[in-house]
Amino acid sequence: MAVILYQSSSPEPVNENVIPIASKDVYSIGILQSDDLAEQNKMTEGVLAALEAEGYSKGSRAKIDIVQAKGNDKKLEASAKKFARDRKDLIIAIGTDSAKAAAKVTKNIPVVGVGVMNFKKDKDFEGHHNFTGIMDTPAILSQIRMAGRCMSLEKLGILYNPGDAAASLQVEILRDVAARKGIHLYEVAYQPDKMAAPQIQKLVGYITALYVPEDTELLSHFDEIVKIMTDAGIPIIGEQAEMVRRGAVISVSPSYYRMGFAGGRIAAKLLKGDMIPENIPIMRQQDPDIVINMKQVNRLNIPLPGDLWQRSRKLYLYDGQPARP
């Protein structure tokens, strides 16, 4: 897997007693997953597969506790505190919120963050020598470039939750991309406390395509978004592949399983006791998947260039049929 290495150029804070993991017969590992999302589940699967491949399978050389907070901030915070109290040898944090929860409770237990947004610059990680892992940065430029080859982006809509920091960051990035490419951006800020359908309907008649960033609130209404947009003949660009499975036309997104596998390999390096997290630069996955929903392509009569068709993973989602490559 191709990755790019990142190292902060800011002054390093004082090391707070981060030492290599001591050799043991059985290591105690905590995996903290913030949400019950398909991409986070795949990251966890990848982590476990990598640990097993490196000889740290659950029940043999590793005691692995997996906590899935399912979007419950209190449970996430309490679980991170318990991992710290239990003095886990290693914490693996799946997703940005999990990594931030771990950062609040420890500066000496090694933490591998997997799929962490803005890992390098986020102030929540300042002063922590105990963190390393894999960033999950939005592939918006690639998504817009690929989508623009098969659909009109002259009037691009974005539906986003302003209460979600990651979604707000993507809006800022998309504004910049739209300005550079001459795209008219039509924004609708989704309010979770209001009815979903009227907010989605605000887009109809004003846009030629819709971009939807990942957010638990939006994902909970994604089937409704797909129905309204499809009925209006408007294709959806999804931030991640799971949205394509549910009805978006296209996404350029990381393979979350491979991202998790890379994180698991980093964890295995730390368990060998030769390194501490600051010896392993934070990485970013650099081999995203292009995923296309062929049912939606056919339904919306979208012309696919031959090379894009060949490069993409195509999901044939016909009624009653499972997805296949």
Cα–Cα distance for residue pair 28/310, rounded to 1 Å: 44
3-state secondary structure of 267: helix
Measured CA distances, 106 to 127, 264, 275 (Å)? 11, 20, 18
Closest CA to 205 of 171, 189, 229: 229
> What architecture is the 140-253+288-315 domain classified under in CATH?
3-Layer(aba) Sandwich (3.40)
Element holding 92 (H helix, E strand): strand 90-94
DSSP annotation of 233: T
Domain boundaries, the chain: 3-136+255-285, 140-253+288-315
Q: What is the pLDDT of residues 237-250, one digit of tens each?
A: 998 888 999 999 99
Please tell me the predicted confidence (pLDDT) of residue 2. Answer: 46
Please tell me the predicted confidence (pLDDT) of residue 9. Answer: 39
Low-confidence ranges of the chain (pLDDT < 70): 1-16, 286, 315-325
3-state secondary structure of 194: coil
Q: Do domains 3-136+255-285 and 140-253+288-315 have the same CATH topology?
A: yes
Please tell me the predicted confidence (pLDDT) of residue 316. Answer: 59
Bridge partners for 151 per DSSP? none
Please tell me the predicted confidence (pLDDT) of residue 325. Answer: 42
Please tell me the predicted confidence (pLDDT) of residue 207. Answer: 97
The top-level CATH class assigned to 3-136+255-285 is alpha beta
Pair 178, 157: CB distance under 8 Å: no
pTM: 0.72
